[in-house]
Structures are given as C-alpha cells and as structure tokens.
Structure 1
Amino acid sequence: MTPNAVPLPESYRLLNHGPTVLVASAHGGRRNVMAAAWNMPLDFDPPKVAVVIDKSTFSRELIEAAGEFVLAVPTRAIADKVVALGSCSGRDGDKFDALGIDTLPAAQVGAPLPGGCIGWLECKVIDEPHIQRTYDLFLGEVVAAWADPAVYAAGRWHFEAGGDALRSVHYIAGGAFFSTGDAFDVKA
C-alpha cells in the first residue's frame, strides 16, 4: 500500500475522531515507537497537533534530541502490537524489529512511518519548554500528512470501505479499546 498525500489544511481530520496513535521517533541511528492515547489536532494554519509523552520514555529522549516525530493512526488489525508497544521500552532494543512492524520512509522527518496504520502525520516540535517540562505535552507542526486511500478519500474517513481490520482503535482505560463504527451524516 502506498499512502496518498493529504493536503495540510485537511491533516487535522486524520486525528479529529480521537484515535490512539503510535508515536515514532528517531535520532542518532536509533529509533522507537510507542502508543499514546492522549493526542489531538490543535490548529489549522499551519496545522498543529498535541501529544503527551512522559519524561521517562525513550521516545521522549529521541524526540527532544531530533526535534521531530511521527503520529500514526493504527488499526484494529494491529491492536495487539499497540498494546505491546506500550508494555516495553525501546531502550531494551528496537521495538519495530521485535514486534515485526514494517516501516515506510517519511518525507520530511527522520522517524519512519509505522506500517499497519492508516494515517501518518510528520511533525516538527514547536519548542515550548514550560509545557513540555510541566505537563509532558509536546506540540508539533504538521509538515507532511499521509493516509491509506482504502479508507481515507475526498477529505474524510470511509472506514466502512476497509472492513473491521482497517478501523482505528481508541483506548478507553483499563486495557479496553473500541474501534470506530459506521459513519453517518446529519443534514441540517
């Protein structure tokens, strides 16, 4: 699968439905990927996102050193890997290799795009030392966005087209997730 480019003014739509994301990072020949439930689109022009990255994580070290990261929208098909990514540290070895997660090259950042996902946002850190230090909150400017054309087209998600395996996952605490349901339109 080759992802389609998403126009930057539409990039917020990749996160607007509140999915759990994978956060990919790389610096100095090392790379990592972690799961994060606390993320959101933040602005339109330029597009920005926010994500919480705990100060104790290896991902945080790589992101602070590189000044960039990738947010990726994983699918129900890899939900077991999403859980595993949150259960081990990248300090102990490459989690991409250990869990058999393929990657695609990013266009604007050094971190890879994790496979098994349906949306990717390449981000440059907007340096805000106070909120990073105090709240573990990182802001990123989206510099490139990609989506799987099987489920994202014409500026919106079409999850029903991809079946259950290509639905995004949403963490609701206590080890429980749900996946997106069918979309419906409401006419005013």
Structure 2
Amino acid sequence: MQSFRQPVDLTRATRLLNHGPVTLITSAHAGRSNVMAASWAMPLDFTPPKVVVVIDAKTLTRQLVEASGVFGLQLPTRGFARHTLAVGSNAGVEIDKFAALQLATFPAEKIDVPMLEGCVAWFECKVIPDDAQRHDLILAEVVACYADTRVYSDNRWHFGDDHDMRTCHYVAGGTFFETGDTFEVEAAPVSGTR
C-alpha cells in the first residue's frame, strides 16, 4: 500500500487541528490497546507544540494513557465516518475494537501506540503531568506529526473533490458534517485608531 504520509514541521503541527474536526485517540499499555472518538481536542501551544484532549477518567483509554504516558491523536475522514461512529459508540473494556472493526494500523515513530490508517493527520503525543487531569483534560506535547499529502501540503489543508478524503465534524446521533471548501480573503482596512 502506497503511503501518502509526510512529516509535518512540529512548529506547524497545530495547523492540522485548527479547523476543529472530530479526532480518534489510540492508546496502548502492557499488551492492551484501545481506540476512542473524541470531539474535544484542540491545539494549546506552538513551540513545543502541545494539545489538549478530554478523556473521561472512567474509560479504558484514560487508564491506558495514564499508565503509558502517551497516546496517538488522529484526524479521520468522511470515508472513515462509520468506523469513527463505531469506535465512539462501543466501550473498549467490552471488545477489542481494532479486531472487531478490522481497523488497519501502522506503528508510531516515537511512541508505542498503534496509529490508524484511514486518517489524514496523525499526532504522537506525550502526556504532560498537570492538575488539569482531574477535570478530564489531558495536556500533551506533540513529539511527532505527519499528514496525508493528498490533502495537506505546504502547511495548508487543500481538500479537493474527493469528499471521502475530507475531515469531518461530529454533531450527535450519527450525524456528521464534512469540512467544506476553502476560500481566501484580505483583511478589511482598518481606519482610525482607538
């Protein structure tokens, strides 16, 4: 299978998350792994790049992340939406979601966590210990980042006509919307001063 993944300069890693798509979090520890959907993920800092994700303390993913100190953060596509809904609707303590959904993975470069095929951006994250964790927030430094060249290059998203390659946003009840077309504008002129 041809790989379209290319490294993204870590100083530009947060640009991959700026448009607010649903994300998938992969985790592993002591021979056990899990994947979950997470709509609450955002960039936090540029240098070094940091992200914040919300992972409920009662989940298997949270247990694995706390035990290992690392996790994978991925941006799924519209073409992967059925799997995104399935991993978000089933608890990892009940089933092995990777096996049950026949999810294709590849090894991360700098952490020991499976990364998912069917996505267009991947972040390898190392947890930063912080008091925010008691509020289900996980702060992490991005230690490696890569994106699919078919939709991301020159530090910009460029979604084309293949709608299955667009990232998506989750609303509720199995409803998603896809990332739309881009457009550019110049800033309005500023007149006067305050």
TM-score (norm 2): 0.92
Distance in 2 (CA, whole Å) between partners of 1:121 and 1:25 is 12
Distance in 2 (CA, whole Å) between partners of 1:84 and 1:111 is 20
Q: Which aligned runs of 4 or more in structure 1 are off by greater than 6 angstroms?
A: none
Gaps of 5+ in 1: none
Partner of 1:160: helix, strand, or coil?
coil
Alignment of 1:107 with 2:106, yes or no, is: no
1:24-173 mapped onto 2 (5 Å cutoff): 24-128=26-130, 130-133=131-134, 135-160=135-160, 163-173=162-172
Q: Map Cα deviations across residues 53-96 of structure 1 (whole Å, 9 max, x no partner).
A: 00111000000000000100000001011111011111123211
Deviation, structure 1 residue 174? 4.0
Gaps of 5+ in 2: 188-194
Tell me the number of residue pairs that the alignment of Structure 1 and Structure 2 aligns. Answer: 185
Counterpart of 2:181 in structure 1: which amino acid? D
Larger Rg: 2
Counterpart of 1:16 in structure 2: which amino acid? N
Identity value in percent:
53
Q: Map Cα deviations across residues 14-40 of structure 1 (whole Å, 9 max, x no partner).
A: 111000000000100111100000010
Partner of 1:123: helix, strand, or coil?
strand
TM-score (norm 1): 0.95
Counterpart of 1:159 in structure 2: which amino acid? F
More helix by share: 1
Distance in 2 (CA, whole Å) between partners of 1:159 and 1:140 is 27
Deviation, structure 1 residue 115? 1.1
